[in-house]
Amino acid sequence: MVFLRKIFGPVLKLDWRIAVLTVVSTLLLIVNAYHTFTPWIYVDRVILFLFIPLAVTLLVFRESPGQYGFTLGDWKAGLLLTLGSIVLMTPILWFLNRSDPSMRVYYRPYLNANLPVYTFLDLFGWEFIFRGWLLFGYARKFGPEALWLQAVPFAIAHIGKPEVETLSTIFGGFAFGWVAWRTRSFVYPFLIHWYIATFTILVAGGAFR
């Protein structure tokens, strides 16, 4: 045993919940990038990023989803932050999407009559896994540093989208995380993200001429 300790060092004491959160979320993001299971990618994302994390929370962690931000939380602060973010982001999004050709090329194909439903389903699970599951799961061990920890995979998951958008996501992910942290809920960053995505596609797709 002494010989083995000299080679391998002391036994690692890992938090098994942190390991599960990290491994499962990483695998889900990879599976989402490489596979489709239904004709609709937004349905796949609801399954991968909402149903599976909720199942792990209930069946493996034996905990309430409310402990991972699946709650309305401080709804008064949440609504104020949501409305304030919309007011702040609207002119910025308008400028970026009108001035950057890469945004128009990427997002124009997504413009359709069912856009709000599509973006709702596409982002609901997406926001839960980052601003709910990972944020509040990591926060138990790492405290506020979880705001940065959940923003990293969020930013990496944007690779392949327009560069100007991807470069901003490490900061946007932190900001979304702070809203969730402040309100104790993933609902309000979801509402903000839902608006941003829908408005981006409308502007980039040429809905406003």
Over residues 55-74, mean pLDDT? 97
pLDDT of residue 5 exceeding 70, the answer is: no
Over residues 21-39, mean pLDDT? 96
- Please give the Cα distance from 42 to 95 (Å, whole number): 27
Residue from 170, 171, 143, 176 nearest 157 by CA: 170
- Please give the Cα distance from 203 to 89 (Å, whole number): 13
Query: What is the secondary structure of 64-111 as a DSSP string?
Result: -GGGGT-S--SHHHHHHHHHHHHHHHHHHHHHHHHH-HHHHHHHGGG-
Name the residue with tokens 């009559």.
113
- Please give the Cα distance from 107 to 77 (Å, whole number): 31
pLDDT tens digits for range 95-110: 988 888 899 899 999 9
- Please give the Cα distance from 112 to 205 (Å, whole number): 9
Torsion sign, CA atoms 32, 167, 117, 82: positive
Which of the two residues, 98 and 184, has the higher pLDDT score? 184
User: Which pLDDT does position 113 carry in this prediction?
Assistant: 80
Average pLDDT for the chain: 93
Find all residues with CB under 8 Å of 15, minimum gap 6, and list them. Answer: 141
Tokens of 201: 């596609």
Q: For the ranges 3-7, 33-37, 61-65, 176-180, which has the lowest average pLDDT?
A: 3-7
User: Which pLDDT does position 4 carry in this prediction?
Assistant: 55
